[in-house]
Structure formats: structure tokens, C-alpha cells
Chains A and B, each alone.
Chain A
Amino acid sequence: MSELQDVVVVGGGLAGFRFAQSLRDAGYDGRVTIVSDEEHLPYDRPPLSKQLLAGTYTEEQCALPGDAPDVSWVLGRRAERLDRERRVVVLDDGTEVGYDGLLIATGRRARPWPGEMPSSGVHTLRDLADTAAFRSSIGPGAKVVIVGAGFIGCEVAATLRKEGVDVTVVDVSEHPMPVMGPEVGARAARLHEAQGVRFRLGRGVAGFEGEDRVTGVRLEDGELLEASVVLVAVGSVPNSEWFADAGLSMDRDVVVCDATCTVLDADGQPVAGIVAAGDIAAWPHHHGEGAVCIEHWSNARDMADLAARNLLLPVGERAEMAAMASVPTFWSDQYNVKIKSAGFLRAADSWTIVEEDVEKPSLLAEGRRDGELVGAIAFNMNRSIIGYQRQLVAP
């Protein structure tokens, strides 16, 4: 049985919640403390750009699935520092929380717009309050410009178009959701255009017009897009400042783990008693170059479950730790299309459409690197994608 008595989780998202559930499922009966800088108990983020934005879910319906684990909650407090020598996490009010086992799960925040902005009307979308603020800013006749054609940008575009809101999406990339490659991206663009979304692709944003309130978005080629509301959806940045000087191995501002979700120190050695999960962490996927950070819901779930089981193993049984065998997957609902993927898509150097029905619409695409299958994408082909999930399990 576990030697631990005082497990601390920093981060109150999916990873922290699942990790605590998994500790309890595994029979751990010591103390669990979850520290979160949000005032809410952990909730599910995928509905924020879809059902919650559309108003078909309430905030309560965004609760994470499963019973809340038996834990002590420290809400509305941010971790400021990790002291590995003394095994404490220092919070923003000076409180020190001691641990004998630690999960790093602080996730990411929306990447802020790097330039100047009007004082209102420009939004990002990452938490419940963001969705509420963005939603309430969209009045009758609103003209919405979305900067960033990634998954959040495209999901928001789809949600708003269903209500007839005027939407323009801008991105420097030539295709929406560029991780899916140009062939699928071109089809995704047509899907949105058929629903009335205007794209400005391959074009950068020079800045925003308006002082108190945004009135437009100026593109680098001079075009001015009229806007009453702007959503900046240009990716995310890791919440890793609090452990940046703790001597852990870091890559692109996330902590690097081995395949067991145990964090590595600056010399690349595993740190006993500290694990990480979700999109604050990178792990060595067989199709990545080195450790990779996978910003998907399923990755947070799978890392959290594995990290909990591995953390509970007594020191003498470390060799029995299981390794991540999780296949990266994501889903995205846009209009009547359910987009799903399997595999590490960023590894692909070419994409082939292997099946397509434009009327339905449905689509199946395979991504390869040097001829080897590394990923698949499906539109409305929920059965086919499962075969790829099986096929892409680590050898």
C-alpha cells in the first residue's frame, strides 16, 4: 500500500479532479488537497465554446462527470512557488502547503493579444467567466471578428452562426484548424463558408480600432473589418511560472515527464513523489521528437489516471510503474459535423483523403510521416475512427 499521507494537487481542472478520483479509486485514504486559482470547483471546458456559449447548458451542467472526490479544496488561491527541498508549495497569500506527493496540473491560460487593445469588447475564452462575458457582449446586430481559426475559434464561429450572428474569422494560416493539414482544412473552410462564416486566411492582424470600445480589426494588408466584439483565440500559454525556478526539466515552458508521468529534474532524472498531468506537461510520445505537450481533454484524463496509480506505488516498486499508452484523441462539434482525430497529428508530413461524402457530409483522412501512419481525422465517421485509435497504440 502507498507510503503517502499528504498528496497535494496544484490546479483545479480536469487533470486535478480525475487524479483525485483515481487516487481514491485506488484505495488511497490519506489527505488530498486541491489548490486552484479559480473560485469554482473543477468543471468541464469543452462546453464553454459550444453548449454554454449557445445557452443550452447552464454553468452547473458543465460540472465534471463522476462524483467529486473526498478532498480539501483551497479555491481562489494561486501557487507562487515550489520548494522541493522543503516539500512545500507556497501560495499567493503566503500559506505553505506541505506535501509528500504532488501533482502539477495548472494547465494553460488563453494567450493574450500581444499588442495594444481597446479597453472593452476584446475577449478571450478559457473559463466560465470568459464565456459569460463574451456571451453578454453579443447584442442584436453584433459583428463578431474572431482572431484565430483554431478549434476554439471555429467552434465559436459555428455556435454563433447557428444564431445568425455575423462572424468573420482571421488567421495567418492558410486553412482553419491547421493541425489537420491543408486537405482537411480546405474542406473545413468550405463547411464554415456554407454556413455564412467569412474567412480572412493567410492574413495577419495589424491591430484593433477603437479606444473605449472596439470598432474594428485592421489587417496587415490594410483591410478594416468592422467589429462590435472581438474574440482573440490565438492559443494558450502554460501556467508554469510557479515552478519555473524549481530545477525541473522544462520544454517550451511546460514540465517534462518520463512515460510514467513522473516529472524530470534539470538533469533528466525522475523526481520521486512529483507527477504531472494535462497540458502543463510533456511526455515522450513515440511519434513526437522528444517529449510532447498534448492539449486534449483525453490526454489530461489519461495522464491523471496513470499519474495517480504510479504515484501510489511504494518507492521499492518504482520499476512496476506503468507507461503512457494513451493515443492522443480529440473531438470537436461544429454544425452537424462531429470531428474526431486519433494519433499525434503534428507528426504528419502528408495527408490523404481516403473516404468522402460531400452531401452527408463525411470524411476520413490519414496522416503519414515518411509513409508511416501517424494519425487520422474523421468527420461524421464515428465507427471508423475507433479502428485508428486501436491501430495507433504505442508499439
Chain B
Amino acid sequence: MKITVDTNLCEVHGDCVVVAPDFFDIGEDDEVVQVLDAEPGEEHRATVVQAAKMCPVAAIRIEG
């Protein structure tokens, strides 16, 4: 499983950070979200999928 963020789409809404703080973060001045762990273990799939689903602009992709 690999997380990528489309930085052209990301508007730092932060919903992914609320759902999955171990994998996403935003700083006060960031213009795009930071991916803290781009290749999480399979046991985190549900959390990461939910984070992607909450994104208002569908900027988060999960491959694999």
C-alpha cells in the first residue's frame, strides 16, 4: 500500500489528519498536507482508506 497526495488538488482541509494523524499532518503554514508514512502496513488500510474518503477534494490516492 502506497499513499500519494495530488498536491495540485490538496487544499489543506485537514480531514485526513483528523482521521489518521499517524499518517498525515499539516503545519500552520503548509500549503499541502505532509504524508508522515507513505507506505503503511496492511493493518492500517481501513484508517488510510477512510482518510482518503473524507478528503473534500479527493487528493489522496492509495495504490496497492
Contact = CB atoms under 8 A, between A and B. Distances in A.
A301 B30 contact: no
Given A65-B56, A65-B57, A66-B58, A381 B18 contact: no
B14 A385 contact: yes
Contacts of A301: 54, 56
16 contacts: A25-B53, A46-B56, A66-B58, A297-B56, A301-B54, A301-B56, A305-B53, A331-B13, A338-B11, A340-B14, A362-B28, A382-B26, A383-B27, A386-B18, A386-B26, A389-B18
Contacts, number: 44
Contacts of A384: 28
B12 A338 contact: yes
B55 interface: yes
A381 B12 CA distance: 10
Interface string B21-36: 0000011111000000
Contacts of B56: 46, 65, 297-298, 301
Nearest to A67: B58
Nearest to A302: B54
A390 interface: yes
B5 interface: no
A85 B13 CA distance: 43
Interface of B, secondary structure class, is: loop
Nearest to A63: B58
Given A338-B12, A383-B30, A386-B14, 13 more contacts: A65-B55, A65-B56, A65-B57, A298-B56, A333-B11, A340-B14, A362-B28, A381-B28, A382-B12, A382-B27, A383-B27, A386-B18, A390-B18
B17 to A, nearest CB: 5
A65 B54 contact: no
B13 to A, nearest CB: 6
Interface string B41-64: 000000000000111111000000
Contacts of A383: 14, 26-28, 30
Interface residues of B, number: 18
B12 to A, nearest CB: 5
Interface in A298-320: 298, 301, 305
What are the 9 tightest A-B residue pairs by CB atom distance, in nearest-first order?
A: A65-B58, A383-B28, A382-B12, A386-B14, A389-B18, A382-B26, A386-B17, A383-B26, A381-B28
Interface residues of A, number: 22
A338 B55 CA distance: 16
Contacts of B53: 25, 66, 305
Nearest to B50: A305
Contacts of B18: 386, 389-390
A131 to B, nearest CB: 18
Nearest to B55: A65
Interface in A50-66: 65-66
B10 to A, nearest CB: 11
Contacts of A46: 56
A283 to B, nearest CB: 19
Residue from A333, A384, A386 whose CB has the most chain B CB atoms within 10 Å? A386
A239 to B, nearest CB: 23
B40 to A, nearest CB: 20
B31 to A, nearest CB: 9
A382 B30 contact: yes
